Amino acid sequence: MQSFYVEGNSALHRLSPRIKIVSLFLLGFLLFIGGNLFLLAAVTLLTALIYGSVGLSLRQSAARLRPIFLTIAVVALFTLIVNPWHEALATLLRLTALMLLAAAVTATTTITQFMDEIAALARPLERTGWVRADDIGLAVGLVLRFVPDIVARYHAIGEAHAARGLKVRATTILIPLIILTLRDADNIAAAIDARGIRRHVS
């Protein structure tokens, strides 16, 4: 399985994983309660500089961010259709800033660090008896591990269509993509249970 993590020794790599994760949550909260376009633009520029410090080339950065940015652009365009232009621009800036910081955090934090920190932060929820912190950490880790694989598989299916001279359509790509993803999910769940990683108390 692939990973978004990038080997490096930047200041962001050395920063505590907990600080990075908490900062990401706080930024998401602050971005969506503020509406000043100049402030949002400044924050977006700052997150772009932070992402630039990770150590990826422009080509690598573009390959990683293009699918997400296209989704953000579609959301901003839809917002422009039903709302004033400044609200659409604010949406574009908010989501772009959040995407850049999230990409920087995932590029400088290993899956193991993510799982440990999420589990530690979710530990107080165990007192309710509804969840297990380790299961939450495991779920987040699996999502982070699955995303790059799903993106790579999407491109592989599209290339296979093109090689056979077939027109690439969302419907013809999504169905095999969903089937392959669900099959992998079943295999991983079976492997997790076989190793006794999830031990639910009845």
Residues 79 and 88 sit within 8 Å (Cβ to Cβ): yes
pLDDT at 122: 77
pLDDT at 194: 62
Claim to verify: residue 89 and residue 169 sit in the same structural domain: no
- Total domain count, the chain: 2
As a whole-number percent, the residues of the chain with pLDDT over 70 amount to: 80
Residues 154 and 177 sit within 8 Å (Cβ to Cβ): yes
CA dist 152 and 195 (Å) reads 28
Summary mean pLDDT of the chain: 80
Claim to verify: residue 90 and residue 67 sit in the same structural domain: yes
Which pTM value belongs to this model? 0.67
Claim to verify: residue 167 and residue 125 sit in the same structural domain: yes
Q: DSSP 3-state helix, strand, coil percentages of the chain (rounded to 5)?
A: 80, 0, 20
Q: Which domain holds residue 28?
A: 1-109
Domain termination residue (choose one: 109, 130, 160): 109
Claim to verify: residue 104 and residue 136 sit in the same structural domain: no
Per-residue confidence band for 35, with pLDDT thresholds at 50, 70 and 90:
confident
Residues 143 and 185 sit within 8 Å (Cβ to Cβ): no
pLDDT at 125: 72
Domain termination residue (choose one: 78, 109, 140): 109
Residue 112 identity (one-letter amino acid): T
Domain termination residue (choose one: 109, 126, 144): 109
3-state secondary structure of 34: coil
